[in-house]
Structure 1
């Protein structure tokens, strides 16, 4: 009788172990995020006329490595350019895998500006490939359409290097970044951007960040003459669930 009890107990422990392992590795995850920033900077250039922006997204990731997602933000630059859109909607999908010690991410991203009504359609499609080794990620993005409303700019690209360094177990991290945006057939619009960000993870889905952002280009101007690529601090708060 005692041996049967031991067998039953062992079976329950084994079954619980298998269940725990299965529960820890779901076939897919579905996550959401919402946030606010004091200035929506993309590749160093303000998309919100140096003003705050609301943002949010949804991501689906499969255990095979495939993923899709969408993200949106309020913007001002389309209206500043004479158009009629106040939102950017991004749709993307790709595949992540490991090649030895390098994490590889390849995919496509489409930027939509509904009802933009600009002379050159600002909707943009990019293909990208990124490699992560240790704390650093090198990424190349290639436009297969005109880039953000620039005429005859198909084939433009963006190359960036970003690293994230956790500060012990404090929840803080430091993220330096440098990138180069090449706008094909428009050297005046091409530029290098830099940033360094301090992030804090509250461990409950909430993260905060403070970044210093700058570019070497003074040609991106708001209607009031303000330089949209000037150096400045950007505060951010995001909640993921």
Structure 2
């Protein structure tokens, strides 16, 4: 499941990228988190995750990148329970531009890939595409963003899916920031996915010290234990700690 972009038209992206290729900038990131939560649901069975990514951006506004995390054996073999995907690999591309000094727009395409996931015994394919337009505001006292992600064949071949996402970040002091998030996931085939449509939210505090970014977050959904994949604690409230480094 994820993250929050392999391009639908690679030729179009490379044409645009070549315009700004002289002024390209690369960046990378690595993080350690106590629980990989994607849209409120644990991807690591409430266990730790090591994550990292690499991005390449041009002055034209075009960017490409990849990101990876361990996950908890998605889609193991239904006969013997072996195997399954132990990692999530995301490939993405997008284009962003400033509308005003404080408003910007972005559109990206993301491909979620789970190497090793079994399709034996008619298990559904879990890899999928997602497309996300979004708008963001950045001011002196806060920053905020709104986006809508769409997949025409969501995780587990569960059909059309939309994810509505809103975030607000407020600096409390020179060293401490408050983050607020709320989202809502709709799924065409809830039975295939494993949950009803649901809301998720989080509240976080973040700071930077010793050259690292530190955060702690409260994460929850409105799914009950029985609504969470037939009876699971992957969707319940938890505290998540993360330490990250960008290069």
Same fold at TM > 0.5: yes
Cα separation, partners in 2 of 1:203 and 1:140, compared to 1, 3 Å? farther
Match of residue 112 from structure 1 = 113
Distance 1:185 1:221 in 2: 13
- Superposed, which structure 2 residues align to 1:6-155 within 5 Å? 27-76=23-72, 78-79=74-75, 82=78, 84-100=84-100, 101-118=102-119, 119-134=123-138, 135-144=143-152, 146-149=153-156, 151=157, 153-155=158-160
Deviation at 1:34, TM superposition (A): 1.1
Show CA shifts across 1:220-239 (max 9, x none). Answer: 249xx541110010000111
Choose between structure 1 and 2: higher helix proportion: 1
Match of residue 233 from structure 1 = 239
Q: Does 1:179 align with 2:175?
A: no
Match of residue 162 from structure 2 = 157
Q: Where do 5+ consecutive residues of structure 1 fail to align?
A: 1-25
Distance 1:221 1:201 in 2: 37
Task: Give the paired residue count.
Answer: 209
TM-score relative to the length of structure 2: 0.79
Q: Where do 5+ consecutive residues of structure 2 fail to align?
A: 1-21
Show CA shifts across 1:53-89 (max 9, x none). Answer: 1111101111111101100000005057856110000
Cα separation, partners in 2 of 1:32 and 1:38, compared to 1, 3 Å? same
User: Quick check: 1:47–1:77 contact (8 Å CA) kept in 2?
Assistant: no
Give the superposed CA RMSD. Answer: 2.0
User: Quick check: 2:178–2:204 contact (8 Å CA) kept in 1?
Assistant: yes
Name the SS of the counterpart of 1:189 in structure 2: coil
User: Quick check: 1:166–1:173 contact (8 Å CA) kept in 2?
Assistant: yes
Deviation at 1:154, TM superposition (A): 2.7
Match of residue 11 from structure 2 = none
Which deviates more from structure 2 when the two are superposed, residues 101-110 or residues 121-130? 101-110
Distance 2:228 2:73 in 1: 10
User: Quick check: 2:147–2:165 contact (8 Å CA) kept in 1?
Assistant: yes
Distance 2:77 2:128 in 1: 16
Cα separation, partners in 2 of 1:148 and 1:203, compared to 1, 3 Å? same
TM-score relative to the length of structure 1: 0.81
